[in-house]
Structure formats: structure tokens, C-alpha cells
């Protein structure tokens, strides 16, 4: 049985705790690995190492830090097949999808390569007579990232390339369900020339997370995961005087207007609802059929959902892989049972899917509900599986109200040929990331990723300039070099004469 350890101070280490957790291959349902689960002591030890490394790393010129990122970028490209296979073997998503998610992470590394420019300050000459003023951004110290299972490479890469490029040192606590990718990324960073102790991976569960939240030397916490845990991280980070950004769960809507190119909307929905088996925070899990488009929309969706090719992620013909664990599979099936009991119409039922040769894998076929109502739990709660709900509404205003009333506000999209509807939607909708004729509006690395309402606690999104601001603190210097004349004491607010 392969054992996954921690990575601290530039090398793998078992830590002191003996606790372990099982890591499965979702395609076969077999346990292939086990991962060490850190104690508070293990976490605190890693923070001490990171704190020591901060002393020198924070003093390196930004250009030197950028060069490590350039080399890291090359190494990710060189090792992309191995990284992708690690994602597939522990998460289950199909190979090309896993590779795409790695690329989206790589784009943040590319963004971080521009750190000398991104971190540049501002300078004003002569803000008063012979007085100059400038603002600079300085690193925070040791910062931590706590990440979910669904993007084992991309989500950590939303965080650490920018944090490190800004001069911080980093503790990553990845999901215990698919931890191998994080260790490989740590090895590649070392190979890229990153000094030991700047990037550390501590595997663990709630105990390690609580140790992060209470460790006084950790100055900022970035979290991505489910909403209840995001809220817990937000509250406890703040209580312990840390900067925090905590991204939570989602229930995303795709509005299908009667004037849209229906085939594009259907294809957009298929990929966005069933891609990665629905285990994406930007998955479109609600199709809002406006006016009289509902029957035709459901008819086209049902044919495609029935024809979905479900199989192991390494099989090139698979469009959708298994879910991450048996427990998660049972939870998703439970939601489908619930939808039936709540009175929604189950048009496509994937619950009984069996794959020859992979009988123990965590598979479910695509599921499609019609006539879902806004009071139902399957509408309100995040299912995080390949279950698409169609809600029918009379008009645009009803669609917008439905979305604005929802507790989550991560991503949303509208398919229409009406520019007025598209523009009004983008302006008025209470959601952080909006698509117009685009199914999954994930911002690029140089913009920022973040939802609204209960999809994000804190006030800054991931990567882009939000990331630079989150991982630095602003210092403003006001300076005078008097040339001979001494100023007198002033007892009133200085103003410009
Ligand atoms: P999760 O909340 O169960 O776990 C996330 C992290 O928190 C993991 O590292 C886990 O070990 C840790 N954790 C779990 N339970 C904890 C507890 N009780 N106390 C402290 N730490 C705990 O999430 P998940 O199942 O790994 O990921 C799926 C969720 O993540 C979904 O809700 C999805 O929408 C969300 N997600 C959101 C975004 C976003 O950008 N908003 C992106 C990806 C995933």
C-alpha cells in the first residue's frame, strides 16, 4: 500500500502522528493508497519551518521569485501527463478534463511570473513642499491554503503561486481524498529552485485545519470547500485575527431564453451539468426554462443525457467518470430519491448504472429532473453530482428573481440572442461570475474568481489583482529630507497652502 506523507522543509516527512486515511481509486472502487493525517504538533512544526524560510524568501528581489515561477511553469508542462494521471487516479474525472484543470492552474503560475510588475508600488513627488509619498505592498508572512477534493491541482494553484511570488511562505492542507498532486507540485517547486520551507504540504483533517486557525504565526487563510466549513473557517480565522478568504458551495443557474440558439444552450448545459460528474463549484445544476421553451429543452436534454458515455477517467471514450467516494455516491443517489419523493419528474435516471469490469467503481449515470420547484430541497441544496434540474418560469423577470432569491451566488449564465436581456442580466443579477452565451463563466487567471452571497465569505476573490492584494499588506511612506530649514512644531492638521 503506497503511503503519502507530508512535504515540509523541502522533503517528505511522515510527521509524528500515526493517524492515516484511505485514498481510493474511484474508477475501480479500490483503496490504492493511504495518507498521513497530521496532528496539531505536526502542523505547528511545519509552520515553524515556514516562518524560518520567510526571513530570507521575503527579502529576495521580486525578479528572483519570478524566475522560480518561470522554471516551475516549464516543469508543470513537462510533467503534465503524470500530474493529470494523479488527478484521474484519485479524483476520477476524465483525463482531458483533468488536464484542462491543470492548465487553468498553470495560467495562475503564468500570471505570477509577472510579479515584479504586479507588485510595483505608487509614488507621488511633492505631496507637500519637499515631501514625497509612496505606497508599497509587502508580504504577510506564513499563509495557509485549505483546499477541496474536486480540483486537487487547480484550486491550490489559485493560491500558492501568487502567495509565494509575493514573498510569503505557504502551508497547503489539501483534501485528504486526493492528496498526491500536492506532493508532486511541492517536488516540482523544489526542482524549480524554490528554497526549502517556502512551500509545505501538511496532509490532514479537521485537527490540522483547527491547528491552522489557531496558530499565531499564520497570517492569512485561503479556503475553498463547502459552505458550512467556509463559514467556520471565516469566523475562526477572524476570531484569531487572520486575514481570510473562504469560498463555499454553489447552485448555479443557466437561463434558457426562448429566443436563444437552443442547440448551443443544450450543449452548454450538457458539459456544464455533467462534466466532471457535476463535481464542480461552477457546474450548472439548474436549467431555467423561460416561456414556452421547456418541452423542447427537456426533450433535447433527455436524449443527450441518456447517451452520456460514463466510464473510467483513463478511457478515452468516457465523457463522465465516477464520483469521488462511495459515501459521495450514496449521497448523490439519496438526492435523486429525494427529488422523486418531493414530486419532481425524473426524466433520466442514472442510479442503476453498472459498468462491466468496474462493478465496484463509484459510478452513477446522468440524471435529469423536470418540473423542479423552488421549495424543493433538490433545488435549494448543492448536490455536487451529475443531476440537472429544470425549473420552468414564465418570463425573464421571474428567472432573475429566482436566481437573486437563492442563497448561493457563485456562477450563472444566460443564453439569448437579445442584447438587451443579456445586458440587463449581467447588470442586475446577484451573482459573482456571469456568462452570456457561455456555459461556465470561470474568470481567467488575470481576472479574479469569486462568488457572492453564501458562496464566498470574506471580501476578496482568488487570483488576479485580488490575489495580489490578499497576499500583501499595504505600507505608505511619507518622507521629507529638509535642506537646511527646520520646521516648527505644528499642532493643527497640515494642509496645502
Ligand atoms: P469540504 O468542505 O468537505 O472540504 C474542504 C476542505 O476542508 C478539505 O481540505 C477538508 O479536509 C476540510 N474539512 C472538511 N471538513 C472539515 C471540518 N469539519 N473542519 C475543518 N476542515 C474540514 O469540501 P469538499 O467536499 O472537499 O469539496 C466540495 C465543495 O467545495 C463543494 O461544496 C464545492 O462547491 C466547493 N467548491 C467551491 C469552489 C469555489 O470556488 N466556490 C471551488 C471548488 C469547490
Distance 387 CA to ligand 1 centre (A): 19
Q: Exposed/middle/buried for 369, CB within 10 Å: 0-12, 13-18, 19+?
A: buried
Residue 176 CB-density burial (10 A; 0-12 exposed, 13-18 middle, 19+ buried): buried
Q: How far is the CA of 251 from the centre of ligand 1 (A)?
A: 15
- State mean pLDDT over 395-399: 98
pLDDT for res 16? 97
Residue 485 binned pLDDT confidence (cut-offs 50, 70, 90): low
What is the pLDDT at residue 335?
A: 98
Find out whether 451 and 445 touch, Cβ atoms under 8 Å: no
> Quick check: CB of 155 below 6 Å from ligand 1?
yes
Mean of the pLDDT values across residues 112-126? 97
Reply yes or no on whether the pLDDT at 70 is more than 90.
yes
Q: pLDDT over 90 for what percent of the chain?
A: 96
Q: Tell me how far the alpha carbon of residue 115 is from its chain's centroid.
A: 21
Q: Is the pLDDT of residue 482 over 80?
A: no
Is residue 32 over pLDDT 80? yes
Asked whether the whole model's pTM tops 0.75, one would answer yes
Residue located nearest, by CA, to atom 35 of ligand 1: 225
pLDDT of 154 strictly over 80: yes
Domains detected in the chain: 2-248+455-477 (3.40.605.10), 252-436 (3.40.309.10)
Ligand 1 binding pocket includes 222 (Cβ within 6 Å): no
The yes-or-no verdict on residue 88 having pLDDT over 80 is yes
pLDDT number for residue 427: 97
User: 229, 276, 433: which to mutate for ligand 1, most atoms within 8 A of CB?
Assistant: 229
Give the model confidence (pLDDT) of 447-479 as tens digits: 999 999 999 999 999 999 999 999 999 999 999
- Pick the residue whose CA is nearest to atom 36 on ligand 1: 225
- Band the pLDDT of 492: cuts 50, 70, 90: confident
The distance of Cα 352 from the centroid of its chain, to the nearest Å, equals 31
Q: What is the mean predicted confidence (pLDDT) over 228-248?
A: 98
Ligand 1 neighbour 455 (Cβ under 6 A): yes
Cα 88 to ligand 1 centre (Å):
19
Best of 87, 221, 226 to mutate for ligand 1, by most ligand atoms within 8 A of CB? 226
Residue 196 pairs in a beta bridge with none
Query: Average pLDDT, stretch 302-319?
Result: 97
Q: What residue owns the CA closest to ligand 1's atom 10?
A: 175
pLDDT of residue 484: 63
Q: How many helices (H) and strands (E) does the chain have?
A: 16, 23
Q: Which of 182, 225, 331 most suits a substitution to test ligand 1, by most atoms within 8 Å of the C-beta?
A: 225
Residue 207 in contact with ligand 1 by CB distance below 6 A: no
Q: What percent of the chain has pLDDT over 70?
A: 99
Q: Does the beta carbon of 224 lie inside 6 Å of ligand 1?
A: yes
pLDDT score at 491: 86
pLDDT at 309 over 90: yes
pLDDT mean over 281-294 = 97
- Mean pLDDT score, 136-145: 98
CB of 327 sitting under 6 A from ligand 1: no
pLDDT value at 490 more than 90: no
Q: How far apart are CA 113 and CA 135, in angstroms?
A: 22
Of 397, 438, 147, 127, give the one whose Cα is nearest residue 268: 438
- Which ligand 1 atom sits nearest the alpha carbon of residue 451? 41
Catalytic residues: 281
pLDDT at 319: 97
Identify the pLDDT of residue 497.
Answer: 64
Q: Exposed, middle or buried, 51 (CB in 10 Å: 0-12/13-18/19+)?
A: middle
Which atom of ligand 1 approaches the CA of 328 most closely? 25
Amino acid at each position: 500500500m503506497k503511503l503519502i506523507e507530508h512535504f515540509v522543509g523541502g522533503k517528505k516527512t511522515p510527521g509524528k502522528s500515526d493517524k492515516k486515511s484511505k485514498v481510493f481509486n474511484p474508477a475501480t472502487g479500490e483503496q490504492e493508497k493511504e495518507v498521513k493525517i497530521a496532528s496539531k504538533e505536526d502542523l505547528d512544526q511545519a509552520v515553524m519551518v515556514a516562518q524560518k524560510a520567510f526571513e530570507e524568501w521575503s527579502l529576495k528581489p521580486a525578479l528572483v521569485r519570478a524566475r522560480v515561477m518561470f522554471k516551475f511553469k516549464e516543469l508543470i508542462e513537462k510533467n503534465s501527463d503524470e500530474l493529470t494521471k494523479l488527478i484521474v487516479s484519485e479524483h476520477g474525472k476524465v483525463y482531458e478534463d483533468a488536464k484542462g484543470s491543470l492548465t487553468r492552474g498553470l495560467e495562475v503560475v503564468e500570471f505570477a511570473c509577472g510579479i515584479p510588475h504586479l507588485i510595483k508600488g505608487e509614488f507621488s513627488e511633492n505631496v507637500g513642499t519637499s515631501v514625497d509619498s509612496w505606497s508599497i505592498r509587502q508580504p504577510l508572512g506564513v499563509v495557509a491554503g485549505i483546499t477541496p477534493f474536486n480540483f486537487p491541482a487547480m484550486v491550490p494553484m489559485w493560491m500558492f503561486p501568487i502567495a509565494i511570488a509575493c514573498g510569503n511562505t505557504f502551508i497547503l492542507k489539501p483534501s485528504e481524498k486526493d492528496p498526491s498532486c500536492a506532493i508532486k507540485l511541492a517536488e516540482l517547486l523544489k526542482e524549480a529552485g524554490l528554497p526549502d520551507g517556502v512551500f509545505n504540504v501538511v496532509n490532514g483533517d479537521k485537527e490540522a485545519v483547527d491547528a491552522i486557525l489557531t496558530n499565531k504565526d499564520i497570517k492569512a487563510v485561503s479556503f475553498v470547500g463547502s459552505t458550512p466549513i467556509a463559514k467556520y473557517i471565516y469566523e475562526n480565522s477572524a476570531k484569531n485575527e487572520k486575514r481570510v478568504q473562504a469560498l463555499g458551495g454553489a447552485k448555479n443557474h443557466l437561463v434558457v431564453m426562448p429566443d436563444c440558439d437552443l442547440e448551443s444552450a443544450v450543449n452548454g448545459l450538457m458539459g456544464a451539468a455533467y462534466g466532471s460528474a457535476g463535481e464542480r463549484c461552477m457546474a450548472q445544476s439548474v436549467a431555467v426554462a423561460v416561456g414556452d421553451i421547456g418541452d423542447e429543452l427537456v426533450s433535447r436534454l433527455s436524449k443527450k443525457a441518456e447517451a452520456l458515455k460514463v466510464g473510467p477517467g483513463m478511457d478515452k471514450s468516457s465523457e463522465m467518470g465516477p464520483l469521488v467516494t462511495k459515501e459521495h455516491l450514496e449521497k448523490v443517489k439519496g438526492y435523486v430519491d429525494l427529488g422523486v419523493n418531493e414530486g419532481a419528474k425524473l426524466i433520466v435516471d442514472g442510479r442503476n448504472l453498472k459498468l462491466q469490469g468496474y462493478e465496484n467503481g463509484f459510478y452513477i449515470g446522468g440524471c435529469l429532473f423536470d418540473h423542479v420547484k423552488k421549495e424543493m430541497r433538490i433545488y435549494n441544496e448543492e448536490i455536487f453530482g451529475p443531476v440537472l434540474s429544470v425549473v420552468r418560469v414564465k418570463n425573464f423577470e421571474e428567472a432573475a428573481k429566482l436566481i437573486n432569491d437563492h442563497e448561493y451566488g457563485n456562477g450563472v449564465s444566460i443564453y439569448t440572442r437579445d442584447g438587451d436581456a443579456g445586458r440587463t442580466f449581467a447588470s442586475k443579477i446577484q451573482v459573482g461570475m456571469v456568462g452570456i452565451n457561455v456555459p461556465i463563466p470561470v474568470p481567467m487567471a488575470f481576472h479574479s474568481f469569486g462568488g457572492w452571497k453564501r458562496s464566498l465569505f470574506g471580501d476578496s476573490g482568488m487570483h488576479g489583482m485580488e490575489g495580489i492584494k490578499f497576499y500583501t499588506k499595504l505600507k505608505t511612506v511619507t518622507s521629507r529630507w529638509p535642506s537646511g530649514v527646520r520646521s516648527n512644531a505644528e499642532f493643527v492638521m497640515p494642509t496645502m497652502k
